[in-house]
């Protein structure tokens, strides 16, 4: 089986193939840091995480880039309304960058609590204004822009494939156009690349540019930063479905206009919304529930992660506390099972991966389950099936406990439900954590030595441990130790 993703561009399942062998360039739209992320936003980042971890498990080297929007995102994605950052700073009586810094930290605190891996590159819009200006210059040189009313616009009529991602039809766009929104626009879907005339006098952050002192449009930041870190064409771009018709459509238009290369991005992956009471959950409407509020109500952040994984990312997910309770109970049952297994086996953490070289294989009877687990994720990242796979493995009483636990811990490297920590809690009970880690390191070194056919060193390590009363046991699921 090969990893298959549903590509929004073309609306079909496609086998994933990289631009350069073994490497994946992945860009995910990051947060606008004007307030706390709500739990709907966090769904988008949970998808990034599953994608990155699945690719890593497949052996790819993933460069995961995420932007932090700290300027230019207006309340309406379509150049309408006030800059979200400025508005928030005004309301709180603080500086824009202060606000940005505070909510960026809060954001990563949330993602960390959800076991969401940090991106390889986190880039702030305000640190990349020069890159944006240079990109806009290229777009201008290639004839895709016009200047009107103090702003530089992208002219979508110069870009015939505009709207392909969203399946927008040009004739329909013209016919259904809302007029009067911005009289400077030649086509209603034209968008601003560079503002000099803010509708608001108090735009806090402005920079010099060839078009006058001002600030960039929101869409250009993602094009500029993704191409800076991933090259003019790259593999995957992700975001919520709300970004398809405007933000991502505009990102494609301006990127391909600048480079003349098509496709700019090979796979577009979009998560459906988390909804509450059938409405759209949006930070802008202020109706958002935060992760902290769930914690305050007694939930573990990973209960929420479990809840998210129990739905497929392309299906709308309805949030309710009953559903979250269900997720909490299910995760507690998982942890109970893992604790019981850890108690029985005394497995040493960290070895399973070394043993298997990071790939499936080497877990004895759990291998078949790992294969099914990988197959589930190959099916457009089906986390509900992958979770079910974890459960069937844990329920199999026929195979050795060590193999069950080793297999479950490997699955949890992708699922991120805190199983390893739970097992470690059992193994370290009454033990010195540093001592356990030291033994773990030595076992790892012995395994390396064996791999390099340095059997003398391998034996030395075994004997040194034996002198300390630690006996090693090599088995199909890894090396285990016990006190002898």
Q: How many CA atoms lie within 13 A of 156 on its CB side?
A: 23
Q: Binding of ligand AMP at residue 273 (CB under 6 A)?
A: yes
Q: How far is the CB of 243 from ligand AMP (least distance, A)?
A: 5
242 touches which of ligand AMP, Zn ion, none (CB within 5 to 8 A by kind)? Answer: ligand AMP
Query: Least Å distance between CB 239 and ligand AMP?
Result: 4
Q: Is 27 exposed, middle or buried (0-12, 13-18, 19+ CB in 10 A)?
A: buried
- The binder of ligand AMP chosen from 9, 24, 36, 40 (CB under 6 A): 40
In sequence order, which residues have a C-beta less than 8 Å from that of residue 151 and are 6 or more positions away? 184, 192, 194, 195, 196, 197, 214
Pick 274 or 390: Cβ nearer ligand AMP: 274
Residue 478 interacting partner from Zn ion, ligand AMP, none (CB closer than 5 to 8 Å by kind): none
For residue 339, the Cα-to-chain-centroid distance in whole angstroms is 29
Tokens 């016919």 sit on residue: 175
Are 304 and 342 spatial neighbours (Cβ–Cβ below 8 Å)?
no
Distance CA 348, CA 482 (A): 9
Q: Which does 271 bind (CB under 5 to 8 A by kind): ligand AMP, Zn ion, none?
A: ligand AMP
43 binds ligand AMP (CB under 6 A): yes
- Told to check if 283 binds ligand AMP by CB under 6 A, we report yes
Q: Residue 428 Cβ, how far from ligand AMP at the closest point, in Å?
A: 37
Q: What is the closest distance, in whole angstroms, from the C-beta atom of residue 143 to ligand AMP in the complex?
A: 30
CA pair distance 466, 471, nearest whole angstrom: 6
For Cα atoms 316, 317, 321, give the angle at the middle one, nearest 5 degrees: 160
72 sits near ligand AMP (criterion: CB under 6 A):
no
Q: How far lies 2's CA from each of 16, 17, 143, 281, 297, in Å?
A: 7, 9, 41, 34, 41
Binding residue (CB under 6 A) for ligand AMP from 31, 216, 217, 389: 31
Contact 335, 422 (CB under 8 A): yes
Which tokens go with 326?
């269900």
Please report how close the Cβ of residue 85 comes to ligand AMP at its closest, in angstroms: 11
Whether 82 contacts 90, CB under 8 Å: no
- Provide the terminal-to-terminal Cα distance of the chain, rounded to the nearest Å: 44
Please pick, from the candidates 57, 185, 237, 243, the single residue that binds ligand AMP as defined by CB under 6 A: 243
Nearest residue (CB) to ligand AMP, 308 versus 338: 308
Stretch in the footprint of ligand AMP (CB under 6 A) among 139-147, 167-175, 188-196, 277-285: 277-285
Q: Which is nearer to ligand AMP, 42 or 420 (CB)?
A: 42
The nearer residue to Zn ion, 72 or 418, going by C-beta atoms, is: 72
CB 222 to Zn ion: min, Å: 3
Q: Mapping DSSP to helix (H, G, I), strand (E, B) and coil, where does residue 146 land? A: strand
Query: Which CB atom, from 76 or from 149, has the smaller least distance to ligand AMP?
Result: 76
In terms of C-beta density within 10 A (0-12 exposed, 13-18 middle, 19 or more buried), how is residue 57 classed? buried
- CB-based closest residue to ligand AMP: 240
Contact between 242 and ligand AMP by CB under 6 A: the answer reads: yes
Among Zn ion, ligand AMP, none, partner that 119 touches (CB below 5 to 8 angstroms by kind): none
Which lies closer to Zn ion via its Cβ, residue 42 or residue 222?
222
Please report how close the Cβ of residue 35 comes to ligand AMP at its closest, in angstroms. 9
Q: With CB under 6 A as the contact rule, which of the stretches 39-47, 121-129, 183-191, 382-390 interacts with ligand AMP?
A: 39-47
Token code pair at residue 185: 């626009």
Nearer to ligand AMP by Cβ, of 235 and 412: the residue is 235
Pick the piece of the chain touching ligand AMP (CB under 6 A) from 29-37, 135-143, 367-375, 409-417: 29-37
Binding site for Zn ion (CB under 5 A): 29, 222
Token pair, residue 407, equals 């297999």
DSSP codes of every residue in 347-411: PPTTHHHHHHTTSS-SSGGGHHHHHHHHHHHHBT--HHHHHHHHHHHHH--SS-HHHHHHHHHHH
- Looking at residue 94, the DSSP 8-state letter turns out to be S
Q: Residue 44 touches which of Zn ion, ligand AMP, none (CB < 5 to 8 A by kind)?
A: ligand AMP
Q: What are the tokens at 78?
A: 């379509």
In the DSSP assignment, the letter for residue 471 is E
- Name the token pair of 442: 């030595």
409 binds, among ligand AMP, Zn ion, none (CB under 5 to 8 A by kind): none
44 scored as a contact of ligand AMP (CB under 6 A): yes
Binding partner selected for residue 32 from ligand AMP, Zn ion, none, CB under the kind-specific 5 to 8 Å limit: ligand AMP
- Yes or no: say if 71 and 216 are a contact pair by the CB < 8 Å rule: yes
Nearest Cα to Cα of residue 121 among 30, 238, 59, 51: 30
Identified binder of ligand AMP from the candidate list 198, 271, 290, 383, rule CB under 6 A = 271
**Number of C-beta neighbours around residue 432 at 10 A:** 9
412 binds, among ligand AMP, Zn ion, none (CB under 5 to 8 A by kind): none
Contact 414, 305 (CB under 8 A): no
Q: Report the nearest approach of ligand AMP to the CB of residue 270 (Å).
A: 8
CB of 240 to ligand AMP, least distance (A): 2
Tokens of 203: 């735009």
> Under 8 Å CB-to-CB from 377, ≥6 apart: which residues?
3, 50, 54, 57, 383, 386, 414
Instruction: By CB under 6 A, name the binding residues for ligand AMP.
Output: 29, 31-32, 40-41, 43-44, 239-240, 242-243, 271, 273-274, 281-283
């Amino acid at each position: 089986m090969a990893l298959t993703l549903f590509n929004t561009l073309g609306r079909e399942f496609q086998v994933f193939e990289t631009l350069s062998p073994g490497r994946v360039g992945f860009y995910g739209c990051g947060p606008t840091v004007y307030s706390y992320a709500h739990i709907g936003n966090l769904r988008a980042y949970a998808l990034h995480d599953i994608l990155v971890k699945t690719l890593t498990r497949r052996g790819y080297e993933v460069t995961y880039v995420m932007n932090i929007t700290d300027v230019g995102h207006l309340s309406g994605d379509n150049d309408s309304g006030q800059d979200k950052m400025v508005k928030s700073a005004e309301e709180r009586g603080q500086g824009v960058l202060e606000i940005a810094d505070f909510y960026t930290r809060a954001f990563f605190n949330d993602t960390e609590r959800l076991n969401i891996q940090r991106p390889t590159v986190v880039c702030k819009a305000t640190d990349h204004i020069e890159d944006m200006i240079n990109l806009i210059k290229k777009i201008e040189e290639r004839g895709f822009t016009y200047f009107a009313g103090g702003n530089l616009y992208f002219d979508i009529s110069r870009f015939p494939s505009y709207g392909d991602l969203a399946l927008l039809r040009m004739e329909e766009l013209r016919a259904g156009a809302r007029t009067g929104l911005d009289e400077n626009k030649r086509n209603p879907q034209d968008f601003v690349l560079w503002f000099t005339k803010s509708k608001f006098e108090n735009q806090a952050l402005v920079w010099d540019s060839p078009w006058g002192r001002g600030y960039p449009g929101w869409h250009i930041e993602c094009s500029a930063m993704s191409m800076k870190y991933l090259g003019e064409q790259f593999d995957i771009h992700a975001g919520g479905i709300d970004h398809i018709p405007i933000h991502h459509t505009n990102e494609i238009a301006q990127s391909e206009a600048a480079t003349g290369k098509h496709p700019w991005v090979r796979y577009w992956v979009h998560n459906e919304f988390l909804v509450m009471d059938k409405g759209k959950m949006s930070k802008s409407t202020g109706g958002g529930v935060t992760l902290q509020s769930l914690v305050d109500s007694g939930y573990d952040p990973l209960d929420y992660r479990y809840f998210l994984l129990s739905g497929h990312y392309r299906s709308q997910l309805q949030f309710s506390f009953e559903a979250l309770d269900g997720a909490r109970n299910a995760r507690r049952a998982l942890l109970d099972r893992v604790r019981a297994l850890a108690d029985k086996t005394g497995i040493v953490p960290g070895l399973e991966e070394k043993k298997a070289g990071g790939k499936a294989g080497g877990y004895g009877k759990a291998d078949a389950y790992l294969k099914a687990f990988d197959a589930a994720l190959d099916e457009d990242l089906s986390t509900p099936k992958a979770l079910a796979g974890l459960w069937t493995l844990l329920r199999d009483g026929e195979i050795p406990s060590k193999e069950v636990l080793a297999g479950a811990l490997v699955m949890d490297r992708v699922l991120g439900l805190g199983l390893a920590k739970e097992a470690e809690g059992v193994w370290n009970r009454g033990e010195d954590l540093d001592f356990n880690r030291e033994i773990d390191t030595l076992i790892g070194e012995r395994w390396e030595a064996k791999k390099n056919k340095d059997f003398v060193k391998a034996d030395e390590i075994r004997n040194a441990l034996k002198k300390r009363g630690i006996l090693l046991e090599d088995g199909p699921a890894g090396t285990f130790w016990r006190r002898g």
